[in-house]
Every structure is written in C-alpha cells, then in structure tokens.
Structure 1
Amino acid sequence: MTELRSPGRRVAGLPDWDRCAVMGVVNVTPDSFSDGGRWFDTTRAVKHGLDLVTEGADLIDVGGESTRPGAARVDAAEELRRVVPVVRQLAAEGVTVSVDTMRARVAEESLAAGAALVNDVSGGLADPAMLPVVAAAGAPFVLMHWRGFLEGATVHGEYADVVAEVVEELAAGLEHATAAGIDPERIVVDPGLGFSKDAEHDLTLLAHLDRLTALGRPLLVAASRKRFLGRVLAGPDGAPPPARERDAATAAVSALAARQGAWAVRVHEVRATADAVRVVQAVEGAR
C-alpha cells in the first residue's frame, strides 16, 4: 500500500497525540442505533466513558440526541439534561471530552462544563448560532459533511462523483467556518459516512481518504458499526449482522484510516481499535 501523508495530527487546543487518536462514543440516548440506550443514565454514562478511557480511548464523545435515520429530535432542555452532567463529571476526571451536538446552546454549556471539542454532524448548518458560539469560545470544531436530516426515504444522497462532491462541500464548509471566526488550525473534517450516503458511497470515500486529507485539515473517520459494514458482512441471505457484531470490521476500518493519516477514529468498542492504531504506529515506526 502506498503511504499517504497526513496534513497533520495536531489540532490546536487539543492534546498532541503521536498516532491516530481513538475517540470513544458515549450515547446518552434511549434510541441509539448502536447500543439501544444502555448508557441512558448519568452515572452509567460516566462510568462507561471512564471504562473506555481505561480500554485505550484518548477522548470521549458525549451525545444526547440520536442521529440515526428517522430519529425524532429532542428539545434543547432535554439534550442539555442528558449531556452536561456527563461532560462535567468526565472532564472533572481529567478526560478530554467532545460534545456531539447540533445545537449552539448545548455546545456552549458543554464547553463551560469542561468539554474541549465540539463535534457537530451538521457542520454548523443545523443551527446558525453554532459557528459564532464555537468561534467565541476558541474551541476546536469537527466539521462533518452533511446534506440535511435523515428522514424516511431521504437517507441516501445522489452523487455523480461522491468523493469530488464531498471534498467540494467540505471545502465550502471550511470557508464558512473560518469566515465565522473559527481558527482553521482548530478545525477537523469528517466525511460523514452513512449520512446521506449508501454503502458504495461510504466504501468509495474510505478508498480515497487521500482526497480528503488534501483539504489540509486533520481528518476524523466515524465508521463504527455503520450500515455499510453490515452490508459488507451480510450472510448468504443478505441479512446484515446486528450493529454490535460489527466491531471487528470497525477495527479493520480504523487500521485503514490510521494508515492513511486520519487524525482520529470514532468508535463504540474501543479496545480492538486502540490495538489496531497502535499496530499501525509500530509498523510505520519500523520503516
């Protein structure tokens, strides 16, 4: 495999990891596609986050609103109730915390509670106040490729060239974010696997991560347990395995992403991915 150089694994305002970082997921929701509300309780969510750190996570992404296709949005007060106590307690334990939200108010209160990073799957498009809030806080920001909420039959987007279009739309998002005052050295880009994309789109993007790193910003790859892996792993009858049976495949994607220079990978099951990125680091170090 040809070695692809990263544009850098340094994001201003965050620790400087010497390899692809591992972002562990804590969903404080009753309806996550992946873990079905297992951590829908502050105490359990905090314990799960700390367990993920013990297993090798470098930072923890806390979310209080499901983004699975067709999921109903919760109101801001409920999202705050779910997220902020978990962020505050994890940050108090010295954990580097990311808040997964599309709402400026949730981002602002989470940053005040100790979050170090805002991970907005809408790339700042869902809430016009998001980019100004992040800019005012001087916070790092994950800008994901997004074409709208996933509702009903609108889950899959139409693309003539998915790589070119995702790169073009992320570039526009970068311009928008920097115009709003966010330091480009604090921006991470995410191709948005599974968001308005089918399995072939996702696989094509993974095969061309070099085109995404050419944007010049660190790259987050969030493939964990997603539908395209279910399709890859489907049995002879075409039935995909349940989400929680896709962790080995997720670790494989994590290794591929790390090998291609990703800044971080976002995963639900941390241990296998933590091992995978460390193996990639060791192999690269032996060159």
Structure 2
Amino acid sequence: MTAYQTLLLDRADGVARLTLNRPDKLNSFTTEMHAELADALAVVAGDTAVRCLLLTGAGRGFCAGQDLGDRAVAPGAEAPNIGESLETRYNPMMRALKALQVPVVCAVNGVAAGAGANMALACDIVLAARSARFVQPFCRLGLVPDAGGTWTLPRLVGPARATALMMLGDAVTAEQAAQWGMIWRVVDDAALRDEAGALARHLATQPTRGLALIKTALAATWSNDLDAQLDLERDLQTVAGATDDYREGVRAFLDKRPPTFTGR
C-alpha cells in the first residue's frame, strides 16, 4: 500500500483501490489531497499491472466536495482566486481521471456533493449504496458547478433535470440516480464494498486495451456526427483487431472455453 496522508492506494490482482481518506471531514478536498491525488493517478496510469481502478471514500461519505476551511477568507482579506484553484488542481485531476486507459469503477458511500459528486459521475461505472446522495450545492454559495459537472450531468440526465439540480441544489437519492441514468446500480450499504470489489476484479480480467478503446469511442460520440463516428469505429476496430486479446477471444470461442485475457 502506498503511503499518503489523505488517501489509501492498494494494488492487487490487477485492481488499484483508491480510497479518499479524510473521513472526519467527509473526504472533502484540500490542497494536500489534490497533490496526493495527482500522484496516485499518475502511479495508476504508469502501472501496467493495473487493469481497473476502484475509487471510493472512507467512513460515512464518499466526498463532500471542497473543504471550505481550506479556503477560509478572513474579514477584509482578498477573496481567493477560485478559478486558479480549478486550473491548477480540479481540472488536472478530472483530466487525469478521464485519461486513464483502464475501466474506472466508483463505489459511492454516503454523500457525494459538489466536486465529489462530479468526480464520481465522471467514472465509467458507478455503484451507489442505498444511503448515498448526490448533491450540486454550488448555487447555495453563489458559485458555478465545476469538476466537469456542467458537461457530465446534462449528458447523464438531460438538460432539464441538470438545470434544476444545479439551480436548486436538491439532493438526489441513489434510487433516483439509478432511475435517471446517473449511475449504473444501487446496492445495499453492507454489500457495496464486496460488490464493487467483485466488479473491479472482473473488469481486471477482461481485454483491457479493448475496454480503453470503448472509452475512446464513447467520449467522441458527443462531438461526432454519424459519419465521423463510423470512421472512428473503423479506426478503433483496426487497433482492437490487432491485439493479443482479440486473438485469444476468438481462440477461446472456437475452443468453447473461457478466455484468458492479458490486457495486451
């Protein structure tokens, strides 16, 4: 396990388990946590043995967003440049997360608010405990949703729901999030850790390169027209068809046996 002050990073069986670890503060973001997240995501990206990332939070919440105590402003003092915080910390974090060439599973336990919610929703497959809540509280502070929220949420739930959630700051239950397509599935609180771990271990045995190419295709579909997407599918399929895992998949199908993928 890699030693951090605000995170836990454990790698085993092809899965990197990254746990936000400030439970007394609902795992809210600080400057220190951002620095450690940048390092941890770089470690995951550079480890060829990692074939899936599982992201979760310690304690009773996933992540409450920014720790406002880390941004406290004394009376009469100059206001902090929050845009600079996004440019140097939040935006690089989200780009690094989305750039990972492995599946990213998020297990949301308890509250996911603000940038914590948007970080969770940016993951590839999201499981939520039945007690989980997703909140966009920026409107209560006079701020704009960040960490990619204004890009991600409308694509998940549509513009009408995204607008209301961001302008009203209402909490969305795990069940409602699943019904609206914000997340993949709701599980009982006691089962979240085991089910998320089993899902991550399964993905770590799958054709990793092919899954990464699926991520590339899905990311492009929002800006491509049909012709461009068809061309992209052709190009990505050319890459996928040259992998060892494709050859193994075909051999296993013909041999009527389970495939053994290596991620190459």
TM-score when normalising by structure 1: 0.33
Is the radius of gyration larger for structure 1 or structure 2? 2
- Give the structure-2-normalised TM-score: 0.35
